[in-house]
C-alpha cells in the first residue's frame, strides 16, 4: 500500500510517501525553528499560520520527490493528536479534503505511535514483545509493545518530559531554541562528573520518571554560583545534566525490559536523536544481552514518514477514520 502521511502537530509541517510501511519514497519536513527562535519557544498561532502556508507546497513536494500522482495513493494518513489544536487542524482539514476528493481511506494516527513506528519503519522485523522508551518534547513513556495492536504503558513522567527538561535547562544556559541539540553539542566539551545533580529514582520499582527536580537543581546551581561569584563551566553543567537524565532513562528502560521479558529494546522520540543517550542505551542493552533498535536521528524527530508507517499497520487491519475525524490535543496513548 502507498500511503501519503501528513504531520502538523507542533512546529514542523511534514508530508511523506511510504510504501508498505518501510520504503520511504519521500519525507519532507518544513521546520519553523527560525520563526519561533526569537520567542524562545513555539507560539501556537504562529505555528498554525505557517502550517497553512506550508501544507500545500510540502505535500506537492512529497509527491514530486516520490514521483507519484495523487491517484496512485492507497490512503491518506494524518496525525490527529496529541499536539497543538490549531496546528493539528491544518493537517487534518487538508487530509480529510484529500481523502474525500480521492475517495480513499483516511487513517488517523496518534503522534506518539508515529514516534514508536519510526522503529518499525527502519526495522520492520523488530522482535516483539519489545520495551520502547519514547522520549520527546512533550512526553516520556515506557511502553510495552506486545503486538501491533496490544500495548501497555509501563511508566510515564510525573512532571516535565525529558525533551522539555533539555529545552528548559538549555534556556537557562543561554542556548538558542530548540535547546536539546544545542545542549548536546555543548555537553561534548564538558565533564559529566563535574557536578553531581540528583537522579529521581522515585519509589522502589517505579518505572515512572520525574525531571522537574533535576531542572530546579541546575537552576539553583547556576543562581548559587552567580551569587557567590563562583566560576561556572557551562559545558560541565550541560554534560552533568545530560548524564543525570540519561542514567535514569537507561536504567529504567533496562529494568522494564528485564522485568517484562522483552525480546528487544526500542528507543524513540525526538530526544532519541541525542548521541549520548543512544550510545549509553546501546551499551546497557548489549550488557543485558538485549537486541537494541533506534531509528536514525532524522526519523526520531518529528516527520511524516513515521506517521505513514504507523498508518500502514492500521491500513492492514482496515482501521480507518471517518471524515469527521477531529483533532484531540490531549489524545491518550493506549
Give the residue numbers of the binding site for substrate. 134-138, 167, 180, 184, 274
The residue range among 65-73, 145-153, 160-168, 220-228 that interacts with ligand ATP, by the rule CB under 6 A, is: 160-168
Number of shown-chain residues binding ligand ATP (CB under 6 A)? 24
Considering only residues 289-318, where is the footprint of Fe ion by CB under 5 A? Answer: 302
| Cα(306)–Cα(320) distance, integer angstroms | 17
Q: Is 215 in the site for ligand ATP (CB under 6 A)?
A: no
Q: Which of 138, 155, 190, 295 binds ligand ATP (CB under 6 A)?
A: 138
Q: Which of 10, 77, 130, 186 binds Mg ion (CB under 5 A)?
A: 10
Residue 210 sits at the vertex; the CA angle it makes with 333 and 201, to the nearest 5 degrees, is 115
Q: Which of Fe ion, ligand ATP, Mg ion, none lies near 139, with the C-beta cut-off 5 to 8 A by kind?
A: ligand ATP
Considering only residues 226-265, where is the footprint of ligand ATP by CB under 6 A? Answer: none
| Cα(30)–Cα(294) distance, integer angstroms | 23
- CA 83 to each of CA 98, 110, 235: distance values in angstroms, whole numbers, following the listed order: 21, 10, 32
Compute the 3-state secondary structure of the chain and give helix, strand, coil in percent, each to the nearest 5.
Answer: 45, 20, 35
- CA 126 to each of CA 22, 53, 264, 310: distance values in angstroms, whole numbers, following the listed order: 12, 38, 7, 14
DSSP lists the bridge partners of residue 161 as: none
Q: Decide whether 166 or 313 has the Cβ nearer to ligand ATP.
A: 166
Q: What is the per-residue binding string for Fe ion in 133-152, x denoting contact by CB under 5 A?
A: ---x----------------
The residue range among 52-60, 196-204, 212-220, 271-279 that interacts with ligand ATP, by the rule CB under 6 A, is: 271-279
| Cα(76)–Cα(63) distance, integer angstroms | 12
Q: Is 79 in the site for Fe ion (CB under 5 A)?
A: no
Cell readout for 192 is 559529566
Q: Decide whether 177 or 320 has the Cβ nearer to ligand ATP.
A: 177
Q: In whole angstroms, how close is the CB of 9 to ligand ATP at the nearest point?
A: 6
DSSP readout, 223-270? HHHHHHT----HHHHHHHHHHHHHHHHHHHHHHHHHHTT-SEEEEESG
Q: Which helix (H) or strand (E) holds 165?
A: helix 162-172
Q: Which of 167, 208, 236, 280 binds ligand ATP (CB under 6 A)?
A: 167
Cell readout for 269 is 522520540
DSSP readout, 118-150? HHHHH-TT--SSEEEEEE-SS-EEEEEE-SSS-
Q: In whole angstroms, how close is the CB of 35 to Mg ion at the nearest point?
A: 12
Q: Decide whether 20 or 41 has the Cβ nearer to Mg ion.
A: 41
The residue range among 58-66, 71-79, 103-111, 295-303 that interacts with Mg ion, by the rule CB under 5 A, is: 295-303
Residue ranges in contact with Mg ion by CB under 5 A? 10-11, 302
Report the interface residues with ligand ATP, using CB under 6 A: 9-10, 83, 111, 115, 136-139, 163, 166-167, 178-181, 184, 269-271, 273-274, 301-302
Site residues, Fe ion (CB under 5 A): 136, 302
Amino acid at each position: 500500500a502507498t500511503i501519503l502521511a501528513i504531520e502538523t502537530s507542533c512546529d514542523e509541517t511534514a508530508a511523506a510517501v511510504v510504501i508498505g510501511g518501510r520504503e520511504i519514497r519521500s519525507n519532507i519536513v518544513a521546520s519553523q525553528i527560525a520563526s519561533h527562535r526569537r520567542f524562545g519557544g513555539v507560539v501556537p498561532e504562529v505555528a498554525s499560520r505557517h502550517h497553512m502556508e506550508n501544507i500545500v507546497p510540502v505535500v506537492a513536494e512529497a509527491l514530486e520527490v516520490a514521483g507519484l500522482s495523487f491517484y496512485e495513493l492507497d490512503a491518506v494518513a494524518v496525525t490527529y493528536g496529541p499536539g497543538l489544536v490549531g496546528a493539528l487542524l491544518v493537517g487534518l482539514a487538508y487530509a480529510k479534503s484529500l481523502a474525500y476528493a480521492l475517495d480513499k481511506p483516511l487513517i488517523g494516527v496518534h503522534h506518539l505511535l508515529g514516534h514508536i513506528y519510526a522503529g518499525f519503519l527502519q526495522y520492520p522485523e523488530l522482535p516483539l514483545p519489545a520495551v520502547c522508551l519514547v522520549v520527546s518534547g512533550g512526553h516520556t513513556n515506557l511502553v510495552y509493545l506486545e503486538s501491533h495492536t496490544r500495548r501497555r504503558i509501563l511508566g510515564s513522567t510525573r512532571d516535565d518530559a525529558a525533551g522539555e527538561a533539555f529545552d528548559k535547562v538549555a534556556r537557562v544556559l543561554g542556548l538558542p531554541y530548540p535547546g536539546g541539540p544545542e545542549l548536546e553539542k555543548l555537553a561534548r566539551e564538558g565533564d559529566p562528573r563535574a557536578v553531581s545533580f540528583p537522579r529521581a529514582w522515585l519509589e522502589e520499582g517505579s518505572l515512572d520518571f520525574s525531571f522537574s527536580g533535576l531542572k530546579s537543581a541546575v537552576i539553583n546551581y547556576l543562581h548559587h554560583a552567580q551569587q557567590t561569584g563562583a566560576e561556572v563551566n557551562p559545558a560541565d553543567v550541560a554534560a552533568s545534566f545530560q548524564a543525570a537524565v540519561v542514567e535514569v532513562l537507561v536504567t529504567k528502560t533496562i529494568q522494564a525490559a528485564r522485568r517484562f521479558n522483552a525480546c528487544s529494546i526500542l528507543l524513540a522520540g525526538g530526544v532519541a536523536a541525542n548521541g549520548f543517550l543512544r550510545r549509553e542505551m546501546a551499551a546497557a542493552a548489549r550488557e543485558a544481552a538485549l537486541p537494541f533498535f533506534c531509528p536514525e536521528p532524522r526519523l526520531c524527530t518529528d516527520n511524516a514518514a513515521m506517521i505513514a508507517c504507523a498508518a500502514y499497520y492500521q491500513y492492514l487491519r482496515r482501521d480507518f477514520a471517518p471524515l469527521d475525524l477531529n483533532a484531540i490535543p490531549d489524545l491518550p496513548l493506549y
